[in-house]
Amino acid sequence: MPVAVDTRDGIRLVFEVEPNQDFHGLVCEGANMLPSKFLKDAFHDRHGKIINIRHLDQVIKSVNGWYQERGLTGLVSYAEILSGGILRLQVSEAEVNNINIRFLDRRTGEPTVGKTQPETILRQLTTKKGQAYNRAQVKRDVETILTMGIMEDVTIIPQPVGDSNKVDLVMNLVERPSGGFSAGGGISSGITNGPLSGLIGSFAYSHRNVFGRNKKLNLSLERGQIDSIFRLNYTDPWIDGDNKRTSRTIMVQNSRTPGTLIHGGDHPDHGPITIGRVTAGIEYSRPFRPKWSGTLGLIFQHAGARDDKGNPIIRDFYNSQLTASGNAYDDTLLAKLESVYTDSGDRSSTMFVFNIEQGLPVLPEWLSFNRVTARLRQGYEIGPARLLLSASGGHVEGNFSPHEAFAIGGTNSVRGYEEGAVGSGRSYAVGSGEISCRMFGPLEGVVFGDYGSDLSSGPKVPGDPAGARGKPGSGYGYGVGVRVDSPLGPLRLEYAFNDKQARRFHFGVGYRN
């Protein structure tokens, strides 16, 4: 402090200097999010030394930077030196006060009445009242709500309130139409000959927000040259009252599909075999660890073979049995357990699926068997190219229907062979390797090789349908192809050779399983 002193020669100006106190402690108020270790590390070598204002400024900047890097709204609003060498820092963090939902008309943008229940939206949010306002967390919440599939647009806007340390969050939602009819088409892998081979037409009705609670209802009908599938699905993506994000799906299905995968290659004068199935079941799914999810289900199936006139049959042209029970239909009650690991949505990541199914012989005539399957996929980026390795395998033990055997060969198995032409077994193993490279625009070139085997289990299938048709039981294929990105997923056109010197085109939609 400057002090003026009168002298005979005039006024003498004296500056009285008091050094900063030695640092003996720190008090930080309002920093609910900031780890205490952060400040301890900042002052760990300062105890007993004179408080340095320049160092204090650096600490304040680092604290403010910590909040900024994490998308948090917070800063040091005040700093002072108390008696006894105690530093006091006052930190102001923005706290979430209220979260308000506002529905907007998708045409005019004006506020309107929404169909979705507010609690259905609020429970999706990781941002809660009383938490520090985190911009990155709010952005993730917006993405989560969009993935529900019931919103066309979502924005969350912070608004200040009377208390300067609190903000209200206003969530503007634009709902998508809840449901409607659709028509489309696809390709079945079960038919490989004829001018309309494998083409399927479909008609569907869907409602994506039943009761305003994000529950899904899908009713669909698919019809092809031989295929016909009627399916009813009702899904609750998050069961009310559950804190583990468990979903539930109830399914009823009546289908008629070609039996060519197992019982193909019939005599030209003998009509094709189809497999009729009536299926009903319920499944529960939930994430149980990071990147892991599980499914538990109970499914009943009533299935049997039919001739080209729709009449039930129990033996094919080669006198191979078509049912395990010897009756026109096999009844099965399946308990299902599935575990899925996904590293990320990128195809260069790791994916692993493990599935166990157990036939429960509740009644004496119901089938009893155990089926285990596994699939693994691993991708690697090699410069501009991508290497994708995949493997799958499975085994069935017990009394099961012949048409449920593992079919090897075809577009999603061993390319270069017709569907199911390599083998049909109780066990199987298939491996594949692909190298792909972006050519130009959405076009991608692929070089691939596949190998599959029934592990000598073909004769162990009831009726030995593979042996009756002379399937080799193992084989490999290789070739080249192109892929084009489309709204339906990648469109695949592949040309493959097999070890029997045969060649074949394959066309598919979506990535290979």
Asked if 3-93 and 95-175 have one fold, the answer is yes
Question: What CATH number labels 3-93?
Answer: 3.10.20.310
Q: Strand, helix or coil at 238?
A: coil
pLDDT reported for residue 195:
47
d(CA 445, CA 436): 6
What's the CA angle centered on 408, arms 407 and 409, to 5 degrees? 125
Alpha-carbon distances of 435 from 264, 386, 432, 443, 477, rounded to whole Å: 32, 6, 10, 14, 15
H or E segment at 67? helix 53-69
Q: Where are the domains of the chain?
A: 3-93, 95-175, 179-509
- Its CATH class, for the domain covering 95-175, is alpha beta
H or E segment at 138? helix 135-147
pLDDT reported for residue 310:
83
DSSP state of 259: -
pLDDT reported for residue 513:
66
Residues of the chain with pLDDT under 50: 190-192, 195
d(CA 330, CA 301): 8
Alpha helices in 94-134, H assignment, sequence order: 118-122
pLDDT reported for residue 87:
94
Residue 169 contacts by C-beta under 8 Å, 6 or more apart in sequence? 96, 98, 99, 100, 127, 133, 138, 156, 157, 158, 159
150-200 per-position pLDDT tens digit: 999 999 999 988 767 889 999 999 999 988 888 877 665 544 455 455 677
pLDDT reported for residue 302:
97
Could you tell me the fold of the domain covering 179-509?
A: Porin (2.40.160)
pLDDT reported for residue 187:
63
pLDDT reported for residue 259:
87
Alpha-carbon distances of 374 from 337, 377, 399, 402, 512, rounded to whole Å: 12, 10, 20, 20, 15
